[in-house]
Amino acid sequence: MAGGGAAGGTAGGTPGPNVPPVVGAAIIAPMTSGWAGQLFPLSITASDANGDRLTFTWTQVAPAGEQGGFIENGSPNAQRWYAPETLAPTTYVLRVSVTDGRSAPETREVSVMVRPPRFSEVYGAILGLPVLQGGQCVGCHGSMGSYTVGASAGAAWSRLVNVGHNHGAACRNAGVPSLVVPNDKSRSLLYLKMAGTQPAGCGDVMPRGTSAVPPSPPNQVVAIGTWIRLGAPND
């Protein structure tokens, strides 16, 4: 499951005379620092002597306010979490609650530090990632069409920031003058099309043809939005 500030699920078997579940001493978190838009893998071990069905509820408990999102990673006890847009290094506290439905929930927490992304990271993990490695941008914007991503981070930056688009006056008159407007994601066509919020006259969503909301993976929307809000630096 994806999006929002909490995720939950169940796994297990049949009821019996109750024995509380045995939950791992800590959340397994291979990464405890990274950048906004990265996916942080998380998991917890748990078993139940009765074979009771276990429920795992994952939440972001701090800081209060804007929430990131959880994406289930194959089973309810494993998730991938991404931060909300983060303009300064921020420590987030993530929690999992495990219960068999008959005893008090067991909770575990882990802290992760998230900083804003650099453009080299945005390019390497999103914009310039080859299709065969899970990328989507270069599939439509490789060596064909009216726009190409560029073969390096520097080339990609120079083709995005304060660069006009090819959607004409209708899109410009709707308040979207270029592909990336530093500090203003609401006027940046790249962000709007990835988020699926572009005005009429500004073309299709990215990737084209998807019915997902947002059309691009939400963690990628976070990364692009954060980078633009920081001023779209070439770093």
Tens digits of residue pLDDT in 112-164: 999 999 999 999 999 987 654 566 665 567 644 457 778 899 999 999 999 99
Range in 16-20, 35-39, 219-223 with the lowest mean pLDDT: 16-20
The model's confidence at residue 203, banded by pLDDT at 50, 70 and 90, is very high
Q: With CA atoms as reference, report the closest residue to 67 among 218, 229, 208, 234.
A: 218
Asked if 179 contacts 165 with a C-beta cutoff of 8 angstroms, the reply is yes
Helix (H, G, I), strand (E, B) or coil at 123: helix
Domain span(s) for CATH 2.60.40.10 in the chain: 6-115
CATH 2.60.40.10, applies to 6-115: yes
The distance from CA 51 to its chain's CA centroid, rounded to whole angstroms, is 34
DSSP-derived letter for residue 132 is G
Task: Give the model confidence (pLDDT) of 47-104 as tens digits.
Answer: 999 999 999 999 999 999 999 999 999 999 999 999 999 999 999 999 999 999 999 9
Which residues make Cβ contacts (< 8 Å) with residue 33, sequence separation at least 6?
112, 113, 114, 115
Task: Give the model confidence (pLDDT) of 18-35 as tens digits.
Answer: 999 999 999 999 999 999
Answer whether 0.85 is exceeded by the pTM.
yes
What's the pLDDT at 207? 85
Q: Which two tokens mark 189?
A: 């066509």
Compute CA distances 17 → 46, 51, 86, 99, whole Å: 18, 10, 47, 15
Asked if 119 contacts 97 with a C-beta cutoff of 8 angstroms, the reply is no
